[in-house]
Chains A and B, each alone.
Chain A
Amino acid sequence: MITIRLAKHWRIRRSEWLLALCTTALGVVYLLSPHLFDEPKWFTTMRSIMPQLWWGWLALGVGSMRLTVLFINGAWRASPHLRCVGAQVSCALWMTLFVSTISSEAIVQSVGFWALFFVFDAFSAIDAAGDARIEDEKARAARLGAESGDARRGC
Protein backbone atom coordinates (compact mmCIF):
# COMPACT_ATOMS: atom_id res chain seq x y z
CA MET A 1 0.00 0.00 0.00
CA ILE A 2 2.74 2.43 1.03
CA THR A 3 4.81 1.44 -2.01
CA ILE A 4 1.88 2.12 -4.33
CA ARG A 5 1.32 5.54 -2.78
CA LEU A 6 5.04 6.28 -2.94
CA ALA A 7 5.17 5.45 -6.66
CA LYS A 8 2.13 7.66 -7.22
CA HIS A 9 3.47 10.69 -5.32
CA TRP A 10 7.12 10.38 -6.24
CA ARG A 11 6.84 12.43 -9.42
CA ILE A 12 5.04 15.38 -7.84
CA ARG A 13 7.16 15.37 -4.65
CA ARG A 14 10.64 15.00 -6.11
CA SER A 15 11.71 18.48 -4.98
CA GLU A 16 10.41 17.76 -1.47
CA TRP A 17 12.44 14.54 -1.37
CA LEU A 18 15.53 16.39 -2.58
CA LEU A 19 15.20 19.12 0.04
CA ALA A 20 14.55 16.59 2.82
CA LEU A 21 17.69 14.72 1.75
CA CYS A 22 19.66 18.00 1.68
CA THR A 23 18.47 18.85 5.21
CA THR A 24 19.51 15.41 6.44
CA ALA A 25 22.86 15.63 4.66
CA LEU A 26 23.47 19.07 6.17
CA GLY A 27 22.82 17.65 9.64
CA VAL A 28 25.21 14.76 9.01
CA VAL A 29 27.91 17.16 7.79
CA TYR A 30 27.53 19.42 10.83
CA LEU A 31 27.69 16.46 13.19
CA LEU A 32 30.65 14.79 11.46
CA SER A 33 32.67 18.04 11.20
CA PRO A 34 32.32 19.52 14.69
CA HIS A 35 34.78 22.38 14.07
CA LEU A 36 33.08 23.76 10.97
CA PHE A 37 31.70 26.80 12.81
CA ASP A 38 35.11 27.60 14.29
CA GLU A 39 36.05 29.43 11.11
CA PRO A 40 35.42 33.08 12.08
CA LYS A 41 34.65 34.22 8.52
CA TRP A 42 31.60 32.03 8.03
CA PHE A 43 28.45 30.94 9.89
CA THR A 44 28.34 34.12 11.97
CA THR A 45 24.55 34.31 12.13
CA MET A 46 24.16 30.60 12.78
CA ARG A 47 26.84 30.62 15.46
CA SER A 48 25.20 33.55 17.20
CA ILE A 49 21.85 31.71 17.32
CA MET A 50 23.03 28.32 18.66
CA PRO A 51 26.08 26.00 18.63
CA GLN A 52 26.94 23.85 15.62
CA LEU A 53 26.04 20.62 17.38
CA TRP A 54 22.48 21.82 17.95
CA TRP A 55 22.17 22.90 14.32
CA GLY A 56 23.42 19.46 13.30
CA TRP A 57 20.89 17.60 15.43
CA LEU A 58 18.12 19.94 14.35
CA ALA A 59 18.87 19.44 10.64
CA LEU A 60 19.31 15.68 11.03
CA GLY A 61 16.12 15.36 13.07
CA VAL A 62 13.98 17.47 10.76
CA GLY A 63 15.45 15.88 7.62
CA SER A 64 14.89 12.34 8.92
CA MET A 65 11.37 13.23 10.01
CA ARG A 66 10.62 14.67 6.56
CA LEU A 67 11.97 11.58 4.80
CA THR A 68 9.98 9.23 7.04
CA VAL A 69 6.80 11.23 6.57
CA LEU A 70 7.32 11.40 2.81
CA PHE A 71 7.78 7.64 2.77
CA ILE A 72 4.55 6.89 4.67
CA ASN A 73 2.76 9.82 3.09
CA GLY A 74 -1.00 9.35 2.93
CA ALA A 75 -1.00 6.13 4.92
CA TRP A 76 -1.14 8.22 8.09
CA ARG A 77 -3.54 11.14 8.38
CA ALA A 78 -1.11 13.51 10.11
CA SER A 79 1.63 13.09 7.51
CA PRO A 80 0.80 16.26 5.48
CA HIS A 81 0.79 18.27 8.71
CA LEU A 82 4.25 16.99 9.58
CA ARG A 83 5.42 17.59 6.01
CA CYS A 84 4.26 21.19 6.38
CA VAL A 85 6.00 21.70 9.73
CA GLY A 86 9.20 20.02 8.44
CA ALA A 87 9.27 22.23 5.33
CA GLN A 88 8.77 25.33 7.49
CA VAL A 89 11.64 24.43 9.81
CA SER A 90 13.79 23.71 6.76
CA CYS A 91 12.80 27.10 5.35
CA ALA A 92 14.07 28.77 8.52
CA LEU A 93 17.28 26.74 8.21
CA TRP A 94 17.84 27.74 4.56
CA MET A 95 17.10 31.38 5.31
CA THR A 96 19.54 31.38 8.25
CA LEU A 97 22.19 29.85 6.00
CA PHE A 98 21.43 32.43 3.30
CA VAL A 99 21.67 35.35 5.73
CA SER A 100 24.77 33.84 7.29
CA THR A 101 26.38 33.52 3.88
CA ILE A 102 25.60 37.04 2.67
CA SER A 103 26.82 38.40 6.01
CA SER A 104 30.16 36.66 5.60
CA GLU A 105 33.35 38.29 4.40
CA ALA A 106 32.94 37.08 0.84
CA ILE A 107 29.91 35.88 -1.04
CA VAL A 108 30.36 32.23 -1.97
CA GLN A 109 28.70 30.25 -4.74
CA SER A 110 26.37 28.40 -2.35
CA VAL A 111 24.46 31.62 -1.57
CA GLY A 112 22.18 30.97 -4.55
CA PHE A 113 21.48 27.43 -3.39
CA TRP A 114 20.15 28.50 0.03
CA ALA A 115 17.88 31.12 -1.49
CA LEU A 116 16.48 28.63 -4.00
CA PHE A 117 16.13 25.93 -1.34
CA PHE A 118 14.16 28.43 0.74
CA VAL A 119 11.82 29.26 -2.14
CA PHE A 120 11.18 25.62 -3.05
CA ASP A 121 10.68 24.57 0.57
CA ALA A 122 8.22 27.45 0.94
CA PHE A 123 6.24 25.94 -1.95
CA SER A 124 6.51 22.52 -0.30
CA ALA A 125 5.14 23.91 2.98
CA ILE A 126 2.22 25.61 1.22
CA ASP A 127 1.40 22.48 -0.84
CA ALA A 128 1.55 20.35 2.31
CA ALA A 129 -0.82 22.78 4.08
CA GLY A 130 -3.33 22.26 1.26
CA ASP A 131 -2.93 18.48 1.48
CA ALA A 132 -3.39 18.68 5.25
CA ARG A 133 -6.67 20.53 4.80
CA ILE A 134 -7.96 17.89 2.36
CA GLU A 135 -7.00 15.08 4.77
CA ASP A 136 -8.75 16.89 7.63
CA GLU A 137 -11.89 17.36 5.55
CA LYS A 138 -11.89 13.70 4.57
CA ALA A 139 -11.60 12.70 8.21
CA ARG A 140 -14.37 15.12 9.16
CA ALA A 141 -16.63 13.77 6.40
CA ALA A 142 -16.01 10.22 7.58
CA ARG A 143 -16.83 11.22 11.17
CA LEU A 144 -20.03 13.02 10.12
CA GLY A 145 -21.02 10.03 8.01
CA ALA A 146 -20.46 7.67 10.92
CA GLU A 147 -22.46 9.95 13.25
CA SER A 148 -25.41 10.24 10.84
CA GLY A 149 -25.30 6.45 10.29
CA ASP A 150 -25.48 5.91 14.04
CA ALA A 151 -28.39 8.37 14.27
CA ARG A 152 -30.31 6.53 11.51
CA ARG A 153 -29.73 3.20 13.19
CA GLY A 154 -30.87 4.76 16.49
CA CYS A 155 -27.58 4.14 18.26
Chain B
Amino acid sequence: MHGAAAESFPEWIQYLFVGASAFAIFVGTVFTYIKKAIPARPGSDVTVVAAAFADKRTIEQLIEALDANTSSERRRTASLEEHSEATRQNTDALINMLVFIRRRAEQETPLRGGAHLQGE
Protein backbone atom coordinates (compact mmCIF):
# COMPACT_ATOMS: atom_id res chain seq x y z
CA MET B 1 0.00 0.00 0.00
CA HIS B 2 1.30 3.43 -0.87
CA GLY B 3 0.22 7.00 -0.22
CA ALA B 4 -2.72 8.64 1.53
CA ALA B 5 -5.31 7.15 -0.78
CA ALA B 6 -3.94 3.67 -0.20
CA GLU B 7 -4.08 4.14 3.56
CA SER B 8 -7.76 4.96 3.38
CA PHE B 9 -8.40 1.76 1.38
CA PRO B 10 -7.18 -1.30 3.27
CA GLU B 11 -6.58 -4.37 1.15
CA TRP B 12 -9.62 -6.23 2.40
CA ILE B 13 -11.86 -3.33 1.37
CA GLN B 14 -10.33 -3.40 -2.12
CA TYR B 15 -10.95 -7.14 -2.42
CA LEU B 16 -14.45 -6.65 -1.05
CA PHE B 17 -15.12 -3.92 -3.61
CA VAL B 18 -13.93 -6.07 -6.52
CA GLY B 19 -15.71 -9.16 -5.24
CA ALA B 20 -18.97 -7.36 -4.51
CA SER B 21 -19.07 -5.70 -7.92
CA ALA B 22 -18.31 -9.00 -9.70
CA PHE B 23 -21.02 -10.71 -7.65
CA ALA B 24 -23.51 -7.92 -8.39
CA ILE B 25 -22.88 -8.25 -12.14
CA PHE B 26 -23.27 -12.03 -11.89
CA VAL B 27 -26.56 -11.70 -10.01
CA GLY B 28 -27.73 -9.10 -12.53
CA THR B 29 -27.04 -11.38 -15.48
CA VAL B 30 -28.69 -14.39 -13.82
CA PHE B 31 -31.73 -12.26 -12.96
CA THR B 32 -31.91 -10.97 -16.55
CA TYR B 33 -31.62 -14.53 -17.88
CA ILE B 34 -34.45 -15.74 -15.66
CA LYS B 35 -36.75 -12.76 -16.12
CA LYS B 36 -36.14 -12.11 -19.80
CA ALA B 37 -39.54 -11.79 -21.45
CA ILE B 38 -39.90 -13.32 -24.89
CA PRO B 39 -41.55 -10.68 -27.08
CA ALA B 40 -44.55 -12.15 -28.91
CA ARG B 41 -45.27 -10.57 -32.29
CA PRO B 42 -47.78 -12.23 -34.59
CA GLY B 43 -46.12 -13.82 -37.57
CA SER B 44 -42.62 -13.85 -36.13
CA ASP B 45 -40.72 -16.94 -35.12
CA VAL B 46 -40.64 -15.51 -31.60
CA THR B 47 -44.39 -16.17 -31.36
CA VAL B 48 -43.68 -19.83 -32.01
CA VAL B 49 -41.00 -19.71 -29.36
CA ALA B 50 -43.40 -18.12 -26.89
CA ALA B 51 -46.04 -20.75 -27.64
CA ALA B 52 -43.59 -23.59 -27.32
CA PHE B 53 -42.17 -22.09 -24.17
CA ALA B 54 -45.13 -23.40 -22.19
CA ASP B 55 -44.53 -27.00 -21.25
CA LYS B 56 -46.70 -29.89 -22.36
CA ARG B 57 -48.88 -29.89 -19.26
CA THR B 58 -49.64 -26.19 -19.60
CA ILE B 59 -50.63 -26.72 -23.23
CA GLU B 60 -52.98 -29.57 -22.20
CA GLN B 61 -54.53 -27.36 -19.53
CA LEU B 62 -54.95 -24.61 -22.11
CA ILE B 63 -56.70 -27.00 -24.50
CA GLU B 64 -59.05 -28.18 -21.72
CA ALA B 65 -59.86 -24.59 -20.79
CA LEU B 66 -60.52 -23.77 -24.45
CA ASP B 67 -62.82 -26.79 -24.79
CA ALA B 68 -64.76 -25.79 -21.69
CA ASN B 69 -65.02 -22.24 -22.96
CA THR B 70 -66.25 -23.41 -26.35
CA SER B 71 -68.98 -25.57 -24.74
CA SER B 72 -70.05 -22.66 -22.59
CA GLU B 73 -70.17 -20.40 -25.65
CA ARG B 74 -72.26 -22.98 -27.53
CA ARG B 75 -74.76 -23.18 -24.65
CA ARG B 76 -74.91 -19.41 -24.51
CA THR B 77 -75.51 -19.19 -28.25
CA ALA B 78 -78.31 -21.78 -28.02
CA SER B 79 -79.84 -19.84 -25.17
CA LEU B 80 -79.59 -16.63 -27.18
CA GLU B 81 -81.25 -18.33 -30.14
CA GLU B 82 -84.11 -19.47 -27.92
CA HIS B 83 -84.43 -16.01 -26.49
CA SER B 84 -84.36 -14.54 -29.96
CA GLU B 85 -87.16 -16.88 -31.09
CA ALA B 86 -89.30 -15.95 -28.09
CA THR B 87 -88.72 -12.27 -28.79
CA ARG B 88 -89.66 -12.77 -32.44
CA GLN B 89 -92.90 -14.53 -31.42
CA ASN B 90 -93.72 -11.74 -28.97
CA THR B 91 -93.10 -9.15 -31.66
CA ASP B 92 -95.32 -11.05 -34.08
CA ALA B 93 -98.05 -11.22 -31.46
CA LEU B 94 -97.76 -7.51 -30.80
CA ILE B 95 -97.90 -6.72 -34.53
CA ASN B 96 -100.95 -8.97 -34.92
CA MET B 97 -102.59 -7.22 -32.01
CA LEU B 98 -101.84 -3.79 -33.48
CA VAL B 99 -103.19 -4.87 -36.86
CA PHE B 100 -106.32 -6.16 -35.19
CA ILE B 101 -106.79 -2.95 -33.21
CA ARG B 102 -106.26 -0.86 -36.30
CA ARG B 103 -108.79 -2.85 -38.33
CA ARG B 104 -111.23 -2.66 -35.50
CA ALA B 105 -110.68 1.05 -35.19
CA GLU B 106 -111.17 1.53 -38.95
CA GLN B 107 -114.39 -0.44 -38.85
CA GLU B 108 -115.73 1.42 -35.87
CA THR B 109 -114.63 4.98 -36.63
CA PRO B 110 -117.88 6.02 -38.36
CA LEU B 111 -119.79 5.01 -35.29
CA ARG B 112 -117.39 6.48 -32.76
CA GLY B 113 -118.74 9.13 -30.37
CA GLY B 114 -122.36 8.25 -31.06
CA ALA B 115 -125.09 6.01 -29.73
CA HIS B 116 -123.23 3.02 -30.99
CA LEU B 117 -120.56 3.38 -28.34
CA GLN B 118 -123.04 3.91 -25.61
CA GLY B 119 -124.89 0.88 -26.87
CA GLU B 120 -121.82 -1.21 -26.60
Q: List A residues at the B interface (Cβ < 8 Å).
A: 40-41, 44-45, 48, 84, 88, 91-92, 95-96, 99-100, 102-107, 118, 122, 125-126, 128-130, 132-134, 137-138, 140-141, 144-145
Q: In chain B, residues 31-67, which have Cβ atoms closer than 8 Å to a Cβ of chain A?
A: 32-34, 36, 38, 45-46, 48-49, 51-53
Whether B33 pairs with A130 at a CB distance below 8 angstroms is yes
Query: Among A103, A130, A138, A141, which residue has its beta carbon within 8 angstroms of that of B32?
Result: A130
Q: Does B14 contact A (CB under 8 A)?
A: yes
Q: List B residues at the A interface (Cβ < 8 Å).
A: 1-6, 9, 11, 14-15, 17-18, 21-22, 25-26, 28-30, 32-34, 36, 38, 45-46, 48-49, 51-53
Whether B6 pairs with A44 at a CB distance below 8 angstroms is yes
* Number of cross-chain contacts by CB at 8 Å: 98
Query: Among A100, A103, A118, A134, which residue has its beta carbon within 8 angstroms of that of B36?
Result: A134
Query: Among B2, B25, B30, which residue has its beta carbon within 8 angstroms of that of A44?
Result: B2
Chain B interface helix/strand/loop/mixed: helix
Query: Quick one: which of B4, B18, B26 has the most chain A CB within 10 A?
Result: B18
CA distance A36 to B5 in the complex (A): 21
Knowing A95-B21, A141-B52 touch, does A129 contact B30 (C-beta < 8 A)?
Answer: yes
Q: Which 3 residue pairs across A and B have the least CB separation, nearest first?
A: A105-B3, A141-B52, A129-B29
Query: Among A95, A106, A137, A141, which residue has its beta carbon within 8 angstroms of that of B18?
Result: A95
Query: Among B3, B11, B15, B36, which residue has its beta carbon within 8 angstroms of that of A130?
Result: B36
Knowing A41-B2, A99-B14, A102-B9 touch, does A137 contact B49 (C-beta < 8 A)?
Answer: yes
